[in-house]
Amino acid sequence: MLPPSTRRSLPMALLRAREVIMAHFRPMLARHDITEQQWRVLRVLAETGPLEATELANRASILPPSLTRIIKALEEREFISRNKVKDDGRRALLAISPTGVALIEELAPERTAIYEAIEKRYGAAEHERLLDMLDGLIQSESTEG
Amino acid sequence: MLPPSTRRSLPMALLRAREVIMAHFRPMLARHDITEQQWRVLRVLAETGPLEATELANRASILPPSLTRIIKALEEREFISRNKVKDDGRRALLAISPTGVALIEELAPERTAIYEAIEKRYGAAEHERLLDMLDGLIQSESTEG
DNA sequence: ACCTTGTAGTTAACATGTGAATTACATCTT
DNA sequence: AAGATGTAATTCACATGTTAACTACAAGGT
């Protein structure tokens, strides 16, 4: 088996695919002076409710050192709050603030429109199938074997 | 249409998928003190032959500012060389050196083994189909519409 | 109580991602 | 030839990715 060419390599294809998709969201995020990662953190907290940092990092696919910096930035802008967990001085619960919720709600329509435009170009069925295949790949790699 | 949950969002799925795949390559790259992006640059140059910076950036999916830094690092380690283009003082042709080729050849067997292991876990047919679907997505977004 | 071990989070150091500004050079226009 | 415009590459500033080291705290064993 030959090594794959860069035009047929899974890591590069995943990178490029992510790039073309994110290009649609960047203008929206830039208008609100929010980075892509900060946006992920806010959405996860909005969906899930208050979380500790480790769990939040896992769900948002952000490494702990990055999350530390992101939390600091979001706290300063009062998009999130942090409350120490009683009985364990290490942990803290991170929660989205009303301001943060308001931001997410403000962007929701545009976000929906962007996804609809992607589905229109790529096809809703293909979109679903691609998500399933990506989940399958992630699963195949996480169940050790 | 509801906005997708973070568990069913295309950007997050692409990010996670890339992450689980790259996890297999990182130890190999770390052993040779090469970053993932430096590795991409070397492979593109090895496949394609000498390229100018802009074309190289496109093929390796690296932004110009990053490429400038990567070229500098690879030049210092003599993995690549750079030759000014006659008749245009702005451009330069970047080429992989024999040392760079040797590195790629040294890593080729391990690289192949890693890809084979991925195909074994995920399925060769699924792998091919996923690459096709990613190409389709990239195409659907690049052909303006 | 003390010591070991484990865990949550942070800090440090360096590479890359990202958008904006800048430099160096080409080309076009007049 | 001089000035306007365009292009290739770099630089800047700041955010994140990545690994390793470190701090603070908890839980267990003796």
Q: What is the pLDDT of residues B51-101, one digit of tens each?
A: 999 999 999 999 999 999 999 999 999 999 999 988 888 999 999 999 999
So what's the pLDDT on residue A120? 95
Q: Do the chains contact at A4 and B122, CB–CB below 8 Å?
A: no
Identity of the residue numbered B56: L
| B77 phi and psi angles, rounded to 5 deg | -90, 5
Exposure string over A52-67, b if 16+ CB within 10 A, otherwise e: ebeebbebbbbeeeeb
Exposure string over B12-28, b if 16+ CB within 10 A, otherwise e: bbbbbbbebbeebbeee
3 state SS of A138: helix
So what's the pLDDT on residue B114? 96
Backbone dihedral region of A44: left (phi > 0), alpha (psi from -120 to 50 degrees) or beta? alpha
DSSP state of A81: E
What is the maximum alpha-carbon separation in chain A? 56
B145: pLDDT strictly greater than 60: no
- Cα atoms in the 13 Å half-sphere on the side-chain side of A26: 6
Q: Do the chains contact at B11 and A18, CB–CB below 8 Å?
A: yes
3 state SS of A58: helix
Task: Identify the band that residue B144 occupies on the pLDDT scale cut at 50, 70 and 90.
Answer: low
A113: pLDDT strictly greater than 60: yes
CA B69 centroid distance within chain: 16
Distances (CA, A) of B139 to A9, A15, B54, B67, B110: 16, 14, 21, 24, 31
Is-contact A133 B133, C-beta < 8 A? yes
In this structure, what token pair is assigned to residue B61? 């999916």
Protein-nucleic contacts, chain A 26-55 to strand C, CB < 7 Å: 26, 30, 36, 52-54
Lowest mean pLDDT among A21-30, A52-61, A75-84, A135-144: A135-144
Residues forming beta bridges with residue A94, ordered by sequence position: A51, A82
Among B37, B106, B131, the residue to mutate for chain A (most A Cβ within 10 A): B131
**Mean pLDDT rounded to a whole number for chain A:** 95
- How far the first Cα of chain A sits from its last, in Å, is 21
Residues with CB under 7 A from strand D: A 35, 37-38, 62-66, 69-70, 73, 87-90; B 19, 22, 26, 30, 36, 52-54, 64-65, 67-68, 71, 90-92
H-helix or E-strand spanning residue B80:
strand B80-84
So what's the pLDDT on residue A105? 97
| Cα pseudo-dihedral A87, A91, A93, A99, rounded to 10 | 130
Each residue's pLDDT tens digit, B109-125: 999 999 999 999 999 99
